Structure 1
């Protein structure tokens, strides 16, 4: 039979727990309401207390009774069933729980750091996306400007090719015209020389004709003179 004497309570021990008692864990060997004795144990709310097994600090493993917290209200009733553990065990349990909380806090801090890193990474990714968008826009503009430049260059090169072709055609035409002028000039000179020669022959013929006419006239005059006598 479990003893519920007031001597089980330690004022120093209870003062370090606060009014709500320690955290607890489920133990199938010690659970349910404390009404299995000759007289049920009641809390300050006049409710049957509930059995718990402590799972916190140096009280880990100790059985206690506490308010069931019915109707959402809980009183500060805590009644220890087991005596306080020996000092070495209390220190060991406290050290283990300190290590646990330190490790837990470290994991929490790591998680917070990871969240912060993720947030910063997301922020950097967002900034990189903005920078990438700007770079893509700049690249697009550069490509468009280059395409325009290439189009203008191609147009200028085509115009240059056409101008060179036109110049070559003009040179050929000028050369052809020059040759034609030379041919016409040569032909004109030949015609002139021919005309000069024909003129010379004509003048010679006229001179001979005049000479012949003069002889004929002289003969006619002589014939006339003979006739007149």
Structure 2
């Protein structure tokens, strides 16, 4: 069985003082008891201040825990005049001490829970603060990553645009090269045709020149033949004259023979 020392004398005296039956006292905390509740049906007793029929209640505080009583029915918006009458008498002193000890243990446990709750709230506040700092840090890093990602996307887009532009430029260059090739081929064909026309013209000129030369040659040959015929006639005449002179004995016979030799050659 539990024992109490002399240090608990003051608490015992307080318990005994609280457990005294008083005509008017403050209403203790109560608990719900299904077998003892509702308003009192009898006309007496009545609450001291309001003279109303009291309500059945069961105390749940200190050494009066479990004692039934009739309490003032005024609970809100008014003055509660406390206990009208105790139904159960005071508990034995040992029981009151046990109840006081139990309530002390309850309050100590509750105080420990309050302290634990405060520590928990402090730790929770610290963790929340750290979480908020980490969250702010993560948000900052996330913003940086978003900026870097946006920049990377822009760079990739620019690279693809540059590649597309390069492909288009290459295609344009190929088309221009093909066009230049066609132009060069057409120009070469035109130059060949011009060379052919020029060669044909030169050939015509050569043929015309040859025709003129042949024509002039033939004309010159005809003129030569005519001149030759004239010379032949003149030679014949001169031979006749020389022969006549030789026969008649005029001039130098030697010179006449030389003239005759020239005419015969």
Bin of the TM-score, shorter chain as denominator length: 0.5 to 0.7
- Determine the structure 2 residue equivalent to 1:141: 144
1:221 to 221, 224, 230: 224
CA distance in 2, matches of 1:192, 1:151: 59
- Determine the structure 1 residue equivalent to 2:205: 202
> Given that residues 56 and 97 in structure 1 are in contact (C-alpha distance below 8 angstroms), is that contact kept between their aligned partners in structure 2?
yes
Does 2:113 align with 1:121?
no
SS of equivalent residue, structure 2 residue 180: helix
Q: Tell me the TM-score normalised to structure 1 length.
A: 0.62
CA shift for structure 1 position 221: 1.4
Change (3 A) 1:15 1:164: closer
Structure 1's unaligned 5+ residue stretches are: 1-12, 32-54, 58-87
- Determine the structure 2 residue equivalent to 1:45: none
CA distance in 2, matches of 1:109, 1:132: 33
CA distance in 2, matches of 1:137, 1:206: 99
Q: Deviations over 1:128-164 (max 9, x none)?
A: 0011001001100000101111111122222222222
Q: Deviations over 1:153-180 (max 9, x none)?
A: 1222222222222111111110000000
Q: Tell me how large the CA RMSD over aligned residues is.
A: 3.1
Q: How does 1:1-229 map to 2 (within 5 A)?
A: 17=9, 22-23=13-14, 89-228=92-231, 229=234
Structure 1 stretches of 4+ moved >3 Å: 13-18, 20-31
CA shift for structure 1 position 17: 3.2
Q: Tell me the TM-score normalised to structure 2 length.
A: 0.54
Change (3 A) 1:153 1:94: same
Structure 2's unaligned 5+ residue stretches are: 26-60, 64-90, 235-265
CA shift for structure 1 position 216: 0.4
CA distance in 1, matches of 2:208, 2:6: 169
CA distance in 1, matches of 2:106, 2:7: 27
